[in-house]
A and B are shown apart, each in its own frame.
Chain A
Amino acid sequence: MPDVLSGLRATLGKALRQAVGCLARFAPESVLRIVNAEVGAEAQRRNAAKVGLLSDGEFVIRFSEVLFQGRGADSDDVERWKELLDEAPARREAFLRDAVTAYLANPPSSVVPQLNDPGRMHILGTSRSFLLQDWQKLKVERGVCARPSRAGRTVPASSFQHTGEFKVSAIASLYKGGKHIEAFLENITAQTIFDRSELIIIDANSPENEAEIIDRYRKIFPNIIYKRINYKIGIYDAWNLGVEMSRGQFITNTNLDDLRKENSFELQASTLERHDFVNIVYQDFFYSMDSRLSFDDVAKIGIKSDLPIITPHNLLLFNSPHNAPMWRRTLHDELGLFDTALRSAGDWEFWLRCISRNKTFYKINEPHVVYFNNPEGISTRPDTKGFEEGLRLRRSYGPKLVSRQLRMSRKEFSELLGSEVDWSRRPSYYDVVHNNLERLGHSFRTHGSHHQSRSL
């Protein structure tokens, strides 16, 4: 350990200084002695007092940047490491030694994200993926053919009348969307409740003159709002502008290359209306690798996500509501707007902010949205900022979202449950609660009361 630390001191870059700082705050006594030689007696006393108080779970969270190569800890890490550390303080030193050595050998800045293969799509909410070949095979098997592009068609004459009510505000950020704009407008204006909605398009200085097509639609649909910004802005700047301009009770984001079923807005808005306790709705969605296909064609191919009920723990791992969610506008009054410092993960950050403030997500099972896998889009390019931003989010939200109960020591957890637990077989906290529930139910069934036995 002294060798490792002298190595650290000799090469003090910013990240390594943080690692030493981290060690000084939370390492076991033997490590602290070495580090504290430099930081003085006062700090020594302070740090030594802290070490004894940390549970294994808390130790893993506080030390996560070093232990997990800069990505922060999630609930599964905490569970696994608690089992390894086994409330034996001496084990922490060995784990720290290995972690710091690994950290020095592969600092987070050296970790290169795996290149995205545009021909392979991970199916969100599962551990499965599919290949472009699978998609093409299914397309043939199910008799789906691409139709001619709809661009250039004349907007059909219509007797469209807006009701004057604004239930839904759909926000779209536009940049280089010439290829998709007409199909997009046709798709959104065909929504069953478009007469109670508005579409706000924020043009981030796109060079493709989409305004010409948008104007044709605006003549028929006065509820299409178009605003061009004369300089390039980020997607979340555009969304924030849209939110500020919106009049709807509910907001949804719409991507130019995605597709919605005709009743998509209606399904989402009616779910929010039905359940007062719900703040955000999301849904399973179909995957498409061909932007020329209609919603029904993509549905026929039938490759779709299988998203879970959102919990703080799974939202920390992946962004379930990333595709066309709908949320109450009032969320922004309470929690603020999207973080414009992020280029790719600003929506994920907002959902993490929501769940950390106990907001409720509700899944609609019916897949009424198509996600187009576009290898040219920013979120699927190998050089995406998404990887780095994802690490940043996990580092900052891990300590907030990995539950305090999961981090508790065994003694604290037993006290919380109000029962003694036999920890000799290292049961998971989940199974311990299960046993308590069983005993509680058994006691009530057989004695008509819920007196629990105090030992397992």
Chain B
Amino acid sequence: MKVVFDGVVFQFGPTDVTLMWSHVLSTMKTYAAPHVALLDRGGAPHFDGIERIAFPSYKLNTNTASDSLLLERVCKECKADVFVSTLYTTPTTVPSVVAFSDASGFEPSPRQEQERELAINFASHYVCASDRIRDDLEARYPGTRLRSAVPLSRPEKSLQSTAERWDALADCIHQQLAQAHSEGSSPARQAFVREWTRLRAIQAAVEPCRISDL
């Protein structure tokens, strides 16, 4: 299984979120099997055993549909089976896992709100770093099968350290990757992604360029 992580969050400099993702990525090699590639949009650290692919930097307020089409081309070129973004970016056909964390530190613009909605609607699997985040998102997006990274066997309050919470998140992402991969080729999903790709291409074609958005 080949997994492509979009390292978009590293582009915006070090924060709690980048620390969390660094931890998750650095543990990926401990899981059996997946070949992991990291799209470096600028600022992505090196991780042992992870292939890096340079990818154009992300603009938060413009060209997000074009970005999605380009992500798809690169994912296809490197034969990605599953995609994970560190923000709300999405390809157009590759099964995707979205992870939501507590440590946002990131005030989304109206366009980013839209992209978050699309990421939720496109993804096949979801991981929330805590029960609270899962509950908040479930209220906002009813019907979404959100999964908390907090293990059922361990109440959230028993996870004492940040590292423990991040380990739980990495575990959970890893489990969801396998499921997303196995469901990726169902006929219903194929029909869905064909229509999704068509609409995303139309969206890219009707986005006017405004200098003020750059």
A: residues with CB less than 8 A from B are 74-76, 78-79, 125-127, 271, 274-277, 284, 306, 308-309, 311, 313-314, 316-317, 360, 362-366, 403-406, 416-417, 428-430, 433-434, 436-438, 440-442, 444-446, 448-450
Contacts and interface: CB of A to CB of B under 8 A. Distances in A.
Contact of B143 (A404, A428, A430, A446): A446
Contacts of B207: 75, 311, 313, 430
B205 A308 contact: no
Nearest to A444: B192
Contacts of B145: 445
The interface centre, meaning the residue of A127, A403, A441, A450 with most chain B CB atoms within 10 A of its CB, is: A441
Interface string B100-122: 00000000000000100110111
A429 B203 CA distance: 8
Interface string B191-204: 11001100110111
Contacts of B73: 277, 360
Contacts of A311: 63, 66, 204, 207, 209
A448 B214 CA distance: 37
B140 interface: no
B209 A442 contact: no
Given A313-B209, A362-B70, A440-B192, 7 more contacts: A274-B53, A276-B77, A277-B73, A405-B202, A406-B208, A417-B202, A450-B188
Given A314-B209, A430-B203, A437 B121 contact: yes
Given A403-B206, A437-B199, A365 B121 contact: no
Interface in B30-49: 40-42
B27 interface: no
A437 B203 contact: yes
Nearest to A362: B56
A442 B195 contact: no
A404 B205 CA distance: 8
B91 to A, nearest CB: 14
B209 A406 contact: no
B118 to A, nearest CB: 6
A79 B210 CA distance: 10
A317 B59 contact: no
The interface centre, meaning the residue of A316, A363, A444 with most chain B CB atoms within 10 A of its CB, is: A444
B22 interface: no
Nearest to A448: B188
Nearest to A282: B56
B54 interface: yes
A434 B118 contact: yes
A366 B121 CA distance: 33
Contacts of A79: 208
Given A276-B77, A277-B73, A74 B114 contact: no
Given A403-B205, A430-B206, A438 B117 contact: yes
Nearest to B56: A363
B74 interface: yes
5 residue pairs, one from A and one from B, having the closest CB atoms:
A441-B121, A363-B56, A75-B208, A429-B206, A403-B205
B27 to A, nearest CB: 26
B26 interface: no
B179 interface: no
Contacts of A284: 57
Interface of B: 40-42, 53-57, 59, 62-63, 65-67, 70, 73-74, 77, 114, 117-118, 120-122, 143-145, 188-189, 191-192, 195-196, 199-200, 202-212, 214
B29 to A, nearest CB: 23
A450 B192 CA distance: 6
Contacts of B114: 434
A311 B213 CA distance: 14
A445 B143 contact: yes
B143 A442 contact: yes
Contacts of A275: 74, 77
B121 A445 contact: yes
Contacts of B55: 365
Nearest to B58: A309
A366 B40 CA distance: 10
Contacts of A127: 211-212, 214
Given A125-B214, A126-B214, A309 B188 contact: no
Given A434-B118, A442-B121, A444-B188, A277 B77 contact: yes
26 contacts: A75-B208, A79-B208, A125-B214, A275-B77, A306-B214, A309-B56, A311-B209, A313-B208, A360-B73, A365-B41, A365-B42, A365-B55, A365-B57, A430-B206, A434-B114, A434-B117, A437-B121, A437-B199, A437-B203, A440-B192, A440-B196, A444-B121, A444-B192, A449-B191, A450-B188, A450-B195
Contacts of B40: 365
Contacts of A365: 40-42, 54-57
A434 B116 CA distance: 11
B202 A441 contact: no
Nearest to B119: A441
Contacts of A444: 121, 188-189, 192
Given A75-B208, A417-B202, A429-B206, A271 B63 contact: no
Contacts of A74: 208-209
Contacts of A449: 188, 191-192
B190 to A, nearest CB: 10
Contacts of B42: 365-366
A442 to B, nearest CB: 6
Nearest to A275: B77
A309 B206 contact: no
The interface centre, meaning the residue of A405, A430, A442, A448 with most chain B CB atoms within 10 A of its CB, is: A430
